[in-house]
Structures are given as structure tokens and as C-alpha cells.
Copies of this chain bind each other. A is one copy, B any other.
Amino acid sequence: MSERIARIGVVGLGYWGPNIARNVAANRRAELAWLCDRSQPALAAASARHPHARTSDSYEELLRDPELDAVAIATPVSTHYELATAALEAGKHVLVEKPLAASSAQAADLIALAEERSLVLMPGHTFLYSPSVVKVKELLDAGELGEIYFVSFSRVNLGLHQPDVSVVWDLAPHDLSILSFWLGGMPQEVSALTRSCVLPGTPDVAFVNLRFESGTIAHLELSWLSPVKLRRTSIVGSQKMVVYDDTSNEPIRIFDAGAELPAPESFGEFRLTYRTGDILSPKIDALEPLALEIEDFCRAILDGGVPRSSSTIGYEVVRSIEAIERSLEQGGVPCRADADLAGDLRQAAVDTTP
């Protein structure tokens, strides 16, 4: 008996879609069934690389194919809601590029619809499949770092301005999804400072503060206007500290270092000492995160279960960004960000009740 495979159509063949197509084609549990884009040159280029896939400039044509199991949507965020809704209503599983939708209400709607139809809805938070990010998660789950004091992200470089998108919508989803994965939840409160340096109305640098219920705090430095590319994340725990840097040959470095509380009897003479020990760069496998993401999508479709990049994480990321936007509108005042997915889902149910 031959094993079932997932027949997948890739929608949107701009910058990222071709990478999805390549990884779908390479996955032994998937078949690249369709390539779809309105642009004929984009279609032709993708078709040359994948001559066995059918092509179309009509999304509806894909959705009408009863053999098609799933679509992978790599189009601008403003179209996510409409395209994903249509696919789910046509009974197709959906992988949609991050962010999941343009608002948390839309995200909740999509989640409600997917649950109703028992379909997979998975946002493409590729970083959750980075072996480095997973390594940190393993360290956290094993308690090696102790209590997590704070996390600091620098994600800056020169370019690329995305027209009609702020640097927050462009870059923060990476760090917010990683935080949600590592810490098991979303921030309770956020505040931010941004500036639109080059184009009016398009923030291109942002400093974002996050506070979690556990006490952990975090900071994001995001910029399209920095002279040197930085992808540097510090995770500081009570037992150990980790620096995660995707641009380094040693992306994870574990520091056996910290502050030592003075012995209780020495009170009065209250003086901290610091402990510095070995530094370890564990071997990190050079696997392509997108290949692992596609594998997880296929697994969810064929075997059931929730993908690591779950729709809940997708919802939490959008909701956190909305809170950041709210803080910006209010001049930087800290704003509540904690998700009420259950409430939003109830609301979604009400809204869609005929």
C-alpha cells in the first residue's frame, strides 16, 4: 500500500513563494500540484523549475481541483484573510505566510473557520523551525538557564523598506513568534518608540519593550537603517545565559555565568559576586528551516495534530503587533497585549452567524 501524500498548491510566486515550491517539491510526503500567480513571467519561471506542476493565474481554478489537499499562500498580508478564507471554505488546508492576517479579528475568524472544518491553519513562522531556535527551546525546557530574567533582540540591517508596511509589521513577527515559542505565551504589556526617518508614515526604526506575566521582560531593536546587519539575541537566565546570532558560524553560545547571591549570614555586607565559567558553542545542524516547516505542515495534514507554528501563535503575534501599534498611537504609553483568543473566537462565531 502506498503512503498518502499531501497535494499542495503554492499561491504567490514573488520572493518567498518559489522557496516554498522548492521545498514542497523536495518533500517526500508532498506533491507540488499547482503553481499560481497573476504574473505570467513569475508563473513561467516557476514552471521551468517544476515542469510537473500545473499552473494557473486563477486561484479559483486551484480551489476547484478536488485532488488538491492544501494551499501555501505567499502573497501580501492584506490578501491573507480573503485567500485563506476561500481556501478553508473550499476544504483545503492552509499554510499562510506570516503574519497570519492583518488583524487579530481576522486571525480569530480564520481560526474559527479552520476549527469548524477540521482543517489545518498554519502561519509560516519559519524561525520556529530554525535548529538554533529549537536548541534554545530545549535548553529552556530542560531548565538549564534557570529563571528567564530578560531577552534582548537586535534585528537591524540596511534595507529593505517594504512599501506600505512598517518595520514593526515586517520584522517584529519573527521575534514575537520566537518569544511566544520560547516562553509559552505572549506579552502582557507592550510599549514602543518608532520613527519614520526616510518616508513619512513608514516607521523604519523601532524600539519595543515587552513585559510578560512571568516577570520576564524583553526588548526588540528593529531597523531597516543600520550600517551593520545584526541578528543578535541575548537570553539571560538566573543560571546561564545564551547568545543566539543567526549570522554567526556559532549561532548558539551558552555562557555558564551569572550573579551569585551572598550567603544569608553575611547580611549588612551585601555584596554580589559574579560567576564566569566555560562557554559552549553546541553543534547546530545545518538544516533548512523551511524544509522542516513544510515537513510539519505535511505531518499535520496527514497525521493530524497541531503544527509547531500553530494558529494560536499566529494569532498572538498579530495581537501583540496590534498592541504595539496602539502604544504608538498613544505616544508610547504601555498597552495591554494579552490575547483573549477564546473571546475573539466567540465574537467570530457571533459575527458569522447568519
Contact B207 A207 (CB under 8 A): yes
Mask of A161-174 contacts with B, CB within 8 angstroms, 1/0? 10100000000000
How many positions in chain A have a CB within 8 Å of any CB in the partner chain? 63
Residue of B whose beta carbon sits closest to that of A48? B51
Instruction: Tell me the chain A residues, 145-185 only, with Cβ under 8 Å from chain B.
Output: 149-150, 152, 154, 156, 158-161, 163
Complex alpha-carbon distance, A193 and B204, angstroms = 22
* A211 in the interface (beta carbon within 8 A): yes
Check: A100 CB closer than 8 A to any chain B CB: no
**When the two chains form their complex, are residues B270 and A163 in contact, meaning their CB atoms are under 8 A apart?**
yes
Q: How many copies does the complex hold?
A: 4
Contact B272 A198 (CB under 8 A): yes
Other contacts beyond A223-B236, A227-B257, A280-B280: 16, CB < 8 A:
A149-B195, A150-B195, A152-B207, A158-B257, A159-B259, A159-B272, A189-B332, A191-B191, A195-B217, A209-B209, A225-B241, A225-B259, A226-B236, A227-B234, A227-B241, A228-B234
Q: List 8 A-B contacts (CB under 8 A).
A: A150-B225, A152-B207, A163-B270, A209-B332, A225-B258, A226-B234, A228-B234, A333-B334
Q: Which residues of A contact B (CB under 8 A)?
A: 149-150, 152, 154, 156, 158-161, 163, 189, 191, 193-195, 197-199, 204-205, 207, 209, 211, 215, 217, 219, 221, 223-228, 234, 236, 238, 241-243, 250, 253, 255-259, 261, 270-272, 274, 276-283, 331-334
